[in-house]
A and B are shown apart, each in its own frame.
Chain A
Amino acid sequence: MRPDGLSLKANDASSAVLISVNTSLRSSDYPVIAWKTSGIPDAAEVGLLWRNDYEPGRIFNRRLDVEAGRVQPFSLLHDPNWVGRIVGLALAVKGVSGEPILVQSATAKTMSPREILGDRIGEWFTFEPWNGASINTLIGGADTQDLPMAFALAVIVGLAALIYRALARWRPQWVGGFRPVIVGVLFLVAWIALDVRWQWNLARQVMVTGELYGGKSWRDRHLVADDRAVFAFIEKVRINLPPSPVRVFMVADEHYYRDRGAYHLYPYNVYFSPWENAMPPASAVHSGDYFVVYQRRGVQYDAANRRLRWSDNPPVPAELVFSEGGSAMFRIL
């Protein structure tokens, strides 16, 4: 159990995760079921299961779609088995292994106009925090949206402009002659509405950023950042490096740690593999170089003979400078 929901993990990919709730709702009043989830692989098999009071001994099911790690809402309006009083609901997920999935809530929806409008506005104003993809693209609210706000407003402005144009042509006594500035104002209002959403999101992000980093020194900000563990480790590496320029090899299994570790090592003359988890050839490693290993499998150190070895390369004479957890720093002899 996490503060934001139930965290679930299957024993293996062939096992199913099942979460069920007892309910008592009239099927005709609530035609749509929406599970709020995250972290579900797109390839996972996800099903909605339910029981009704007509046939309490029977369990019905429907396959659900997954998009961007989230189970999509499902309409049972025309399902012949969505009848009577629904006495139990369940979500079954098969094909989940590795990272756990998160189930936050299940909502039975009436699909009234008010609720639909509320859902759309809720999607548009869902907080979208910074992530690795933010520099490339912004979603504009919730990860998945039935009706993106930009598209909705563009359609509204377009239709309003067409209606206005038609009225100005055929009913000028109502609206006067056609004035493009009226269309411009419609467009401006829509732009401002989208901008308000964007600024509201940015303001919330600034509050989160301020809470995490506000009032801290440069070093302290790094010590609470996403890469705090690798930053702290590299700090120890830097203490053990000589002041003069030396060559440093940075290796790690995780792309992020490898590149980020290298970044923190500059201005030392650092080498890392920016795009793939590749080790340098042993022939490129010379006496006096340093070798920083951060959570990297396949690197072996023979302390007795002071030999460092990786992949199929011949062993390299090296001295362990320090190690910590699954990480270490070596000096090439």
Chain B
Amino acid sequence: MEAVALALSLALPWALGIAVLAALGWPGEPRGGAIAMRAGFGYVVGMILLTLWMRALSAAGIGFGRASIGLPLFAAAMLLSAWAMRNARLSIADFRNAVIALVRPSLKGWQRVAWIAVIVWLVVHFALMSAEIVWRPLYPWDAWVQWATKARVWYELGHIAPFVHADQWLAGTANGYFDASPDYPATMPLMQVWTCVALGRWDDSAMNWPWLAILISLTFAMYGAFRAEGIAPLTSLFGAYFLATLPLVDVHVALAGYADLPMGAVYGLAAVAFYRWSVHRDNRDAIVALFLALACPLIKNPGWIWALTIVPGVIVALLPRRGLRVVVAGFAVALLGVLAIARAQPTLLGYHLKLDFAPAWAQLVKSYYLMGNWNLLWYAVIVLMVLGWRRLWQPSLAPLAVVVAAGLLFLTVVFSFTTAAAWIADLTTANRASMHLAPLLVFVSILLWHRMTRDSVETAPAADSAPVSTSM
């Protein structure tokens, strides 16, 4: 019975997100990968909507419960799905065909064998992470000192209660609770609350299932986004596999409770939707991108900055001729601004800005290239960026390249001019902050690889690499 409750707790936001995207008619074009994209983006969109609903309930003085949370959202999902079906934007047959294509692909020979092997291998990955979620009590430090603290209080109270800083709590002037980071956003604790509400009891292991759902949804979304770019099914699957098997990403599922993976997922998918808009200029892509970008600060406080990194991309997309110059000038001004602000040594979003340029490069290189955190991701990123530099700045990729550059610049500033430099030295922050950018880096790397190999094939007429089509 509890397994059913947990399954429903995951299915509700998933169904809601898919229904909303279907009602929106997103993704619009009939190319491959539409169902996978909808399934992938669906959970993340639904998760944000569900927590927004919980905030609304709490503001209205309605207690959290299966009925108050679940029934209205279930009804909304059903109504939107029915409307989408009536308008031919959602089809059961499409989903059925997608599932069939997943388990019985229309590939031939070794490609079919490789497809099935990768799917089975991914299932093994997810099963192993599931076992850790099922068995292990909440383990990583910050998870129980600043995230689940809120979840526990809000679950027991049945509504959101404020958390305040130590001085306010000790003064007794504010009627609030205290934990290590009272300013942290509510989204992920609310997801934990919802899981426990659905389960019917507090369980600090089971409440972490959403982290696995996020990784699975990211895997689907990446596959779908690659397919939508015309990348062959098997290459798309390997692209998604690269993301799903990044060791540190897997750790954040197995030892769930931190908001870094959700941050990376929301930001990464926002960037993917933005990229689609920059290429196709479909307003529906813009709506999804805007929604996810605005949701970034609801996941972690630096989400504001991550959301802002998309703005330079928008400028380049809107001003293809002058945009790059405008953005480069903007980066320079922003950097000077940071340096000017740093003279006052303020604390922004928890990072203490200072003028000392003291990046711990050695530890960063160790983290990215020598240790077991990222498999070969950072090697691939650097090689592809160098070899594909020219293609990266072609009109179709330039807006996304600028977003990546802005993201890397943000990480560089954080690692070089803030207290985070010390946290890199003891390996506590560098990898987690980098995780916010990891899904986007995988996406850009595969896109770039595709462009490079496609150009190579186009200049070699004898080569035969026609992609095999599949309906997923």
Contacts and interface: CB of A to CB of B under 8 A. Distances in A.
Contact of A134 (B166, B203, B255, B460): B255
Nearest to A260: B144
A138 B128 contact: no
B170 interface: yes
Contacts of B247: 138, 140, 198
B441 to A, nearest CB: 14
Given A135-B251, A136-B429, A136-B431, A284 B132 contact: no
Contacts of A136: 427-429, 431-432
Interface in B155-190: 155-157, 166, 169-172, 177-180
A149 B449 CA distance: 24
Nearest to A203: B128
Nearest to B176: A269
A221 B432 CA distance: 28
B152 interface: yes
B463 A179 contact: yes
A267 B255 contact: no
Nearest to A263: B144
B411 interface: no
A181 B153 contact: no
A299 B213 CA distance: 46
B389 to A, nearest CB: 16
Contact of B379 (A128, A154, A197, A272): A154
A275 interface: yes
B101 interface: no
Interface in A170-218: 177-181, 184, 187-188, 190-191, 194-195, 197-199, 202-203, 205-206, 209-210, 212-214, 218
Specify which of B136, B180, B248, B373 lies most central, judged by the most chain A CB atoms within 10 Å of its CB: B136
A137 B370 contact: no
A187 B141 CA distance: 35
Contacts of A197: 372
Contact of A205 (B132, B204, B432): B132
B297 to A, nearest CB: 22
A159 to B, nearest CB: 13
Nearest to B428: A136
Interface string A138-156: 1111000000111101100
Contacts of B204: 218
A36 interface: no
Nearest to B142: A135
A271 interface: yes
A138 B169 contact: no
B41 interface: no
B156 A138 contact: no
A39 interface: no
A275 B131 contact: no
B41 to A, nearest CB: 25
Contacts of B379: 150, 154
Given A135-B141, A195-B245, A286-B172, A150 B369 contact: yes
A140 B371 contact: yes
Which residue of A140, A190, A214 has the most chain B CB atoms within 10 A of its CB atom? A140
Contact of A138 (B144, B170, B373): B373
A133 B427 contact: yes
Interface in A270-325: 270-275, 280-281, 284, 286
B177 A269 contact: yes
A273 B142 CA distance: 14
Contacts of B129: 202
Scoring A140, A177, A195, A286 by chain B CB atoms within 10 A of each residue's CB, the highest score goes to: A195
A312 B369 CA distance: 50
A181 B172 contact: no
A318 B379 CA distance: 61
A150 B449 CA distance: 21
Contacts of A54: none
Given A198-B250, A199-B125, A206-B128, A154 B376 contact: yes
Nearest to B367: A137
Contacts of A275: 180
Contacts of A333: none
B139 interface: yes
- Size bracket, chain B contacts: 35 or more
B376 A191 contact: yes
A137 B371 contact: yes
Given A139-B372, A140-B372, A263-B148, A187 B380 contact: yes
B470 interface: no
A271 B169 contact: yes
B290 interface: no
Given A139-B371, A199-B128, A209 B136 contact: yes
A225 interface: yes
A130 B431 contact: no
Given A135-B255, A190-B376, A218 B180 contact: no
A316 to B, nearest CB: 14
A18 B61 CA distance: 69
B145 A132 contact: no
Contacts of B143: 135
Nearest to A245: B157
A23 to B, nearest CB: 35
Given A134-B251, A180-B452, A184-B449, A259 B170 contact: no
B234 to A, nearest CB: 10
B195 to A, nearest CB: 13
A286 B149 CA distance: 23
A131 to B, nearest CB: 10
B251 A259 contact: no
B440 to A, nearest CB: 19
A135 B252 CA distance: 6
Given A134-B140, A137-B371, 5 more contacts: A191-B245, A206-B132, A267-B153, A271-B166, A280-B170
19 contacts: A134-B140, A135-B258, A135-B432, A136-B429, A140-B372, A149-B372, A150-B374, A180-B452, A180-B456, A187-B376, A190-B376, A197-B372, A213-B137, A218-B137, A263-B152, A267-B155, A267-B157, A271-B178, A274-B179
Interface of A: 128, 130, 132-141, 148-151, 153-154, 157, 177-181, 184, 187-188, 190-191, 194-195, 197-199, 202-203, 205-206, 209-210, 212-214, 218, 221-222, 225, 259-260, 262-263, 266-267, 269-275, 280-281, 284, 286
7 closest A-B pairs by CB? A140-B372, A274-B180, A267-B156, A135-B140, A284-B170, A213-B135, A266-B152
